[in-house]
Structure formats: C-alpha cells, structure tokens
Chains A and B, each alone.
Chain A
Amino acid sequence: MNEVMIIPAQDATIGQEREKLEAICLSGLEWAHKSGAEEAEIVLSHGKGTEAGVRDGQPENLTRSQTNNMAVTVYAAGRKGTASVHSLSVDTIRQTVEKAIAVARFTQPDDFGGLAEPEQRQIADADLPDLGLWRPWAVSPAMMFDIACEAEAAGLATDERIRRCAQASITSTAKQVVRVNSNGFVGYHAMTRHQLSASFIAENSSGQQKDGEYDVTCDPALLASPAALGAKAAALALGRLDARSLTTRTCPVLFTPEMAARFWNDVLDVLSGPALYSGRSFLAGRLGEKLTPDFVTITEKPHIWQGTGSRHYDDDGLLRQDAPIISEGVLRRYVLDSYAARRLGMQSTHNAGGISNMVVAGEGPESMAEMIAGLNRGLVVTSIMGHGFDGASGDYSVGVTGMWVEHGEIVHAVEGVTIAAQVPDMLAGIVAISKDHDRRGKIRTGALLLDKMTVAGI
C-alpha cells in the first residue's frame, strides 16, 4: 500500500468545546449553590472516536463514537452525593445537580470529606508548559482500513505457521475534559490517542498460540509503522509455539517491560489511600522503610512530553508533583488524594485520580535482550493471567506464559505454570532493571529481574 500520510487536523478545535463546557459547568455550580450544596464539583467530558478493524484484507468493522459525560459531586451538610449522566445539555445539568443533592441527603457525614483546599498559588494556563497531548488526526476510515490491512498483511507474510490474524485494528480518539469546583478551580484537559494493534494465531503440530502487539501515541506521526508492528506481533505468536510446562522449581524470574509495568501497578495499588485506610495494604505504616535494593528509584513524572499519563492537575484540582515514591530503596511517600490524606492524617500527594506517569529506574543492562543474554537460568515472563495478588497479605501468585532461558539463550516457550512469592521478597530481591523503557503506559519501566520465585508446573 501507499505510504501513510499524516495530516494534522486543525488545532482550532481544541478551544471550541472548552468554552461551551465551562459555561455548563459554571451554571451547574450556581444551581448547586442555590439548591443548598456547600461545595460542588462538576466534570464534563466530550469524546469522539473512530475504530476500524480488518480481516483478510477487507474492512470488518467500523465504529464511530461520540461520548458525553457529566459527573456532579456535591457536599451538603457534610454529606457527599454524586450523580452522572451521558449528556452535556444545559437542561440535564440542573437535574443532575438536584439528583446528587438528593443522594447526599441520605449519606452520612464524613469528617474527612469535602473539596481539596485550593492551591496557594494560582497558575495561569498560559504559564503551564504544553505537554503535547492534543494531536488530532484527520484520517478517513478508508485510510484507517489501509493501515490496519498493512499490519495484518505484514504479520501473515512472516511465516507459514502464522495461520490467521485474530485481530487487526486502529483507533483514533480525541477527548476534552473540563473540571470545575466551587473553590474556584477551573481545569481543562484535552488529549488525543491513536492506537494500532494486531494479533495472530500461530499453529504447528504442537497446537495453536495467539499473541499480539500494540502501539499507542498522542501524536499519529509517532505511531509504529504498521508493517513493523504486524511483523512483531506475528513473531511474538511464533515464539509461543511448542510451549511446555516446567517442573516445579525455584529460579530467577525476568519480567518483560510490559509485565514489569503490570507488577508495579499492583504495588501502586497498595500505596493508594483506599488500600491503606481499609486495611488492604501490607505497606501501611511502612513509610521510611527500605523495600528494595539501593539502586531502585521510582518517581512520579507528571510532565513527560506526550506521556500517556501526563497532566498538570490531579482530580482534586491540585498541581501534579514531580516527586519520588521510592529512592535509595526507601519508601518515601504514598499515593494519596486529599480525602485519603485527611483520613490518614497526612498530606495529599496530589494523586487524586491516581498516578500521572511513574518512572522506574535502576541499575541494569541497556536492554532486555542483554539482560536475557546475561541470565544463567531463569524464566522470562511475557504474559500474566489471573488476579492472584492479595494486597493485605502481600501474597502474589499468578499464571504466566514465557520462555525458559539457560546460559543466556532461550531454550523453549513456557506455558501452564504459575509463579508465586511474597511481594516484600520480590521487591527486596530485585537484581536489575533494564534501561529500555516501555513508553506506552503510565508506568515506564524496563525489564525487571528478580532473584527468585516459586515456579509451579508439572
């Protein structure tokens, strides 16, 4: 097919919805005040998207979407109520505010509730750095089908053992969000996301296996080449053929950057307010303690250029902070919003709505390939199945597929095994973190090598 042309759309659209959404929000705040709410917050979002999927070189599905959402939170007599609706109309805002107030009549007063204290210093929007998140793509469905077809064709062409394409699709979305609260906060966030993905079925006498690859970016010009992505997806599926189980053993375990991000996401969960105040975190009361070897540093970085989680404000309307979570191996802070902070008797870490971007850094080789080459014996984990993490006890036990490595070489693909350990032991047992970060998600980490886990198999 022809080379893909990236045509940037008019950036003018970025301001258009903003004024309209802000006006609805402000009228809602006024109505909330009139209706007896002491405090209120209103979040409106408007999104547009197109998804195109192909099969056998032909369009298979085309989805056009327009999503509207209005969410109202009120505090009346110290009680909280929320209401939401899939609409942005001016009529609806009043009804939604009233419904939130009606809900608040029945909830119970919460001493820790209420909006966040407003920021001491107000920063004008113009003084906030551009994060490069709004890059609309004037792409026609026909062009999207072409791109997905190219990825599909590239995968199918790699090897005769690639029998079928399980899925090849491309999605382009643009979303604008306005958040206002009665403490005077008015925030606007606009972001585009363009995603290309493909997965393939590989088959030989040992059976069939599926794997795939995706890429997601704010800027369509940076999206992976469809041919390269399709070929990589097919190669991953081929790599799973002839997978077999392992005998039960204890050995080093290496998580790919994508799976390492998934592990860190579990750790992040037990650093969050709700886990801490409801007894679901083994890390409660562990601030200032050493969790990992000295060389591990985990830092929140809210302002990464075109980062998936990049934001100026958190969902309380507080400025996101560039601040370490773990440094020199020591747990420096939790991940709290204002509510959790009040409840725990701590300060908000400006993490309402979760983390922005989290960067995991440490000592280790340049790439996962080098890390594997240096591994004497061990299991490389390429996918994780199940939800076997208990935050309260720290027990971690999940099903995985991957590759068995001996003397730096991949010996065979692995499936039908589980890996298990206590998360504190996993953290203390970090051997290395490679420098080739996966940039697709909010959590940016390289491959993670742990000294040992229990592998259960045949």
Chain B
Amino acid sequence: MTDYLQLAADSLLSPHALDTSRLEKLLGRMSGPDIDYADVYLQDCRSEGWTIENGLVRSGSYSVESGAGLRAVSGEKTGFAYCDGFGFDDLADAADNARSISGLMGSGLTAPLAGRDVRRVYAAADPVSELDEKAKIRLLEVIDATARACDPRVRNVTATLRVMSELVLIAASDGTLVADYRPLVRLSVSVGAESNGRRTNGSAGGGGRMKLSDFIASGMAEAKAKEAANRALTNLEAVPAPAGIMDVVVGSGWPGVLLHEAVGHGLEGDFIRKQTSVFASREGTQVAAPGVNIVDNGTLPDKRGSLSVDDEGVETQCTPLIENGVLTGMMLDRMSARLMGRAPTGNGRRESYRHLPMPRMTNTYMLAGESSPEEIISSVKNGIYAVYFSGGQVDTTSGKFVFSANEAYLIEDGKITAPISGATLTGAGEEVLTHVSMIGNDLALDSGTALCGKSGQSVPVGVGQPTLRVDSMIVGGTKA
C-alpha cells in the first residue's frame, strides 16, 4: 500500500525545500493565545480532459493546479491566504496574512505534527497517467458510435471524459498531519436528436473515485451513451408539461438531488450555526414523514462524493440526518463543530487550496423502504413520473427549492403514458418530506456526475434515493 505521507513528503515537500519542521514553523507563525486553530493545506491536482464532438476529438486539455492555503481561526473569525506553488517565502507571507485576522503576534508555538495513516475508501489510482491517451480517445469514439447507433434521429453527440488525480497534505496546529491521494473519473454525454424540425436534448453520465481501467471495464460508458440518446429520443415525443399541483413519483438514483436541495443544504452546520437555515432549531422534531431515513455518507467505496478524510484531515463517516422522520443530525466542519460544541463529522470540504473549507455534503441519500416501484406508480391516479433532472437549486433560508426535469412522464390511471417536456418541480424543503407517502425498495445512488455549488465553490458529491411518491407537489409546465 502506497504510503501517502511519504508520497506527499517526496512530491510536495522535498522538491521545494519543505519538511515537517518547516510546516510546524508556518503553523507556529499563525498560532497564539487568541488563535483556536490554524492549518496548512497543500494540494497538487493534475487533470486531463478530452471531448468528442460530432465524431472528432477536436481538443484536449491538461492542467496542473498546485499551491497552498493557510488559515488561522480565532473564535468566529477566519484569516485566510493562499499562494500558487510551494515556495517557503510565499507560504510564510500567506501565514502572516492569515494571522492578521488577529491583532496579536504569532507565538511560534504549535503542537508537534504527528503523521497518521487514514482508513481508505478508494484505491490509490492515478486515472490521469494510468492509461495512454489512445485508450481515452478510443473510449470517446465508442460512446459516439454507440449513441449514433441507437437511432438515425440522433444528430449530435458530445462526450467529455475528465480524469483527475489529486494529492493533498493537511497539517494543523493540533498536530494533525494527514495525506490523501484522490482519483476522480467523470464522463458526461449529451445527445441532440432532431425530427420534423423539432430538436431535443438528452444527457447522462457517470464516474467515481476509481481507476480509469475499472471504469472502462464496467461498461458504464456505453450504457450512458444509450441512456442519453434514448432520453433525447423520448423527448422528441414529449407533450408540454402540465401546470399545477400533482402527485409526483420521483425515480431512484440521480433524482435524489431533490433531497440534496430540499434538506441537505439546510443541514450544513454553517447555515445552522448562523441561523440562516430553515432547519436551524428543528433538531429532535419531526420534519419528514415516518419511515424517512436520510444519511450523509462519505465512506461509500469508490463513490464520487466519498473521501477518506475531509479537507481538514477528519475521517469521513456515515452521519444520520433524519431518522424515521425526526431530524437527528447535521453536517459539520471543524469550525462549526467547535462553535456548536459538537464533534466534526468529516464534512469540511473546499474546492481547492484557493478556497476556505466549509460544511459540505459527501454522498447524501434516503434509505430504502418497502414498496416496489411498480406499486408506487400504480398508486397514482393522475400525476407525474420524474426520472431524470438537469439540475436544482435551493434557498436555504425559506427552504424553497426547484428542479428541472430532463426526462419525465405523465401518469394516468396508474400507468406511465406520454413523456412531457419543460417540467419544473418546486416545493419547500420542510414540507416536501412530510408529503412522502411511499418509499421504494430500490435505493440507488446517482452514477457519479453530481457537482454541488455553494458560495462560489464547487465540489463533487453523490446523491441518491429509492423511488418515492410525493403527494401534492407544484409542477410547473406551460399547459395550465
């Protein structure tokens, strides 16, 4: 097993004349009686992207993002500075800048760094250099051909393969010294179809924290090409979505973005601590229908939202958020945990060294219930079956959320009938979960493409749920 601390020492520290004692010096510069916590986050991220568009891989890109973010925390105050690269002088300047949030001079005193290994939830893979470029291009060509073979009405196929490997080293004033090596594979496929002058679009994708060769061997790429093509073709037949209140069956897997928006963000510790979340004082109360269990789980093997340790060096865990309808937990980074007198939950995440960590989701999903998906659909007289969404958004203060369907159908007399286009679902986070009337036995996570944005920072996450019946949601279409 690769020793990540050794790897970090060899590739992040030694080449730049850094070592543990110099990291301690930096932490000491930021420490003092009025500083609760200080950390240094070193990151080296390499990524490669290839896009096939209209049958040709017309461009490829390679990028290196490496540098350090330094942070000093005093009570509710945070001083933060970052620099590109790992020059000691630049790091020292950044430390002084971060320290300036406090009026006092640094004490120079910090706990000695004690390196520790962490439990791993994904393999030490390097999807960037593991295979040669030809293998990546061949994969994209297969996707293009697979999507086109679905139907002559398929006109445009665009697929992007992005692979990333990232090495991070986290050193903190409490002696934390942790390294992690994080692979990430993401494929996205977008297919345009055209018939009788009507143009439609379908998208799909997949990936995770895994070896690229494992991703290729899984056959997911071909499956996603077909899924995107079929989605575009289905939309060619779509009728305008109805408008008004309806019972909605939300499919399993990726539609779990509903939970991510409706309750996930509202249970992030910073929003709760600052009382800007609709769930701020709801702990211990019934916020969802009985039978609803929701967790945030950073430990699922190879999943896109998983992390062995978060960006503050805390091991991830499975945190129950809602148990049998009762709000029981929240997601915390070190700062919100300390200020709220709780233990961190391994949810301190940041987009990169150029960003401050904050409480973020990992893989957030609802656990399975007992109903079969068929049973759930046949229980609805007139409603909507939403299978795939193109995205969502929430206002954490009011709890209002919205998401847009890329594949949805009418349900008439318990049967799935016509596909519909232009459907948007809206509701309030604290209401929607009380309207869950049936929970499927088919829990699935999304296939590994979700990107979550918060305060200008994007991080990869996972979402998931079983098929759900939600009573009385507002469906926004054009057909009043």
- Enumerate chain A interface residues (CB-CB to B < 8 A): 55, 58-68, 80-87, 89, 99-100, 102-108, 110, 113, 141, 163-164, 166, 201, 207-210, 240, 243, 245, 248-250, 277-280, 282, 385-388, 390-393, 395-399, 401, 415-422, 454-458
CB closest chain-A residue, reference B235: A393
When chains A and B are docked, how far (Å) is the Cα of A65 from the Cα of B79? 11
CB-based contact A106/B480 at 8 Å: no
Most chain A C-beta atoms within 10 Å of own C-beta, residue among B134, B396, B427, B475: B475
- Nearest chain A residue, comparing its CB with the CB of B85: A87
Top 10 closest A-B pairs, CB basis? A418-B476, A399-B402, A395-B422, A456-B243, A210-B397, A279-B192, A386-B402, A388-B404, A106-B133, A456-B476
* CA–CA, A396 and B59, complex, Å: 31
CA distance A64 to B194 in the complex (A): 50
Q: Is the CB of A386 within 8 A of B403?
A: yes
B80 CB contacts on chain A under 8 angstroms: 61-64
List the A side residues contacting B200 at CB < 8 Å.
390, 392-393
Residue from B63, B94, B192 whose CB has the most chain A CB atoms within 10 Å: B63
- Measured CA separation A172–B480 after assembly (Å): 47
Q: Using a CB-CB cutoff of 8 Å, which residues 123-175 of chain B contact chain A?
A: 133-134, 137, 155-156, 158
Which residues on B are within 8 Å of A, measured CB to CB? 48, 50, 53-54, 56-67, 76-85, 94, 97-98, 100-101, 133-134, 137, 155-156, 158, 192, 194, 198-201, 235, 241, 243-245, 274-276, 278, 354, 356, 390-398, 400-404, 421-424, 426-428, 474-480
- Of all chain A residues, the one with the shortest Cβ separation from B236 is A393
A-B contact pairs, 13 of them (CB 8 A): A59-B77, A64-B81, A85-B64, A103-B48, A106-B134, A110-B59, A166-B397, A201-B397, A207-B398, A210-B276, A279-B155, A395-B478, A420-B422
**A278 touching B198 by the CB < 8 A rule?**
no
Find out whether the CB atom of A456 lies under 8 angstroms from the CB atom of B477: yes
In the bound complex, what is the Cα–Cα distance between A387 and B422 (angstroms)? Answer: 11
Give A262 to B94 CA distance when docked, in angstroms.
37
Contact of A398 among B82, B85, B198, B424 (CB under 8 A): B424
> Which residue in chain B gives the minimum CB-CB distance to A106?
B133
Q: Which residues of B contact A62 (CB under 8 A)?
A: 78-80, 97, 100-101
Other-chain residue from A67, A110, A457, A458 in contact with B84 (beta carbon distance below 8 A):
A67
- Which residue in A99, A104, A163, A454 is a CB contact (below 8 Å) of B477? A454
Residue of B nearest to A80 (CB): B59
Instruction: State the Cβ distance, A239 to closest chain B Cβ, in Å.
Output: 13
The reply to whether B61 and A67 contact each other, CB–CB distance below 8 Å, is no
Residue of B nearest to A86 (CB): B84
Residues of B within 8 A of A387 (CB): 390-391, 393, 404
Additional 15 contacts, C-beta under 8 A, given A110-B56, A456-B474: A65-B82, A86-B66, A100-B62, A208-B278, A248-B243, A249-B480, A250-B480, A278-B53, A279-B155, A279-B156, A280-B201, A392-B199, A420-B477, A454-B476, A457-B474
Distance in angstroms between the alpha carbons of A226 and B261 in the assembled complex: 32
When the two chains form the complex, which single residue of B48, B85, B201, B241 contacts A420, counting CB atoms closer than 8 Å? B241
Q: Which residues of chain B are within 8 angstroms of A396 by Cβ–Cβ distance?
A: 422
List B contacts of A87 (CB < 8 A).
64, 84-85
Of B53, B60, B244, B275, which one neighbours A103 at CB under 8 angstroms? B60
Contact of A397 with B477 in the complex, beta carbons under 8 Å: yes
- Contact yes or no, B275 A201, CB < 8 A: yes
Contact between A208 and B398, CB atoms less than 8 A apart: yes
CB distance from A177 to the nearest CB of B (A): 16
Which chain A positions have C-beta within 8 A of B476?
388, 397-399, 417-420, 454, 456
Contacts of B475 in A (CB 8 A): 418, 456
Question: CA separation between A454 and B478, bound complex, in Å?
Answer: 5
- CB neighbours (8 Å) of B422 from chain A are 388, 390, 393, 395-397, 420
CB distance from A340 to the nearest CB of B (A): 12
A87 to B44, alpha carbons, bound, how many Å?
Answer: 13
User: Are A278 and B158 closer than 8 Å at their CB atoms?
Assistant: yes
**Contact among B65, B85, B235, B474 for A458, CB-based, below 8 A:** B474
Q: Which residues of B contact A67 (CB under 8 A)?
A: 84, 354
Q: Which residue on B lies nearest to A401, using beta carbons?
A: B400
| B398 x A415 contact (CB < 8 A) | yes
Q: Are B156 and A397 in contact (CB under 8 A)?
A: no
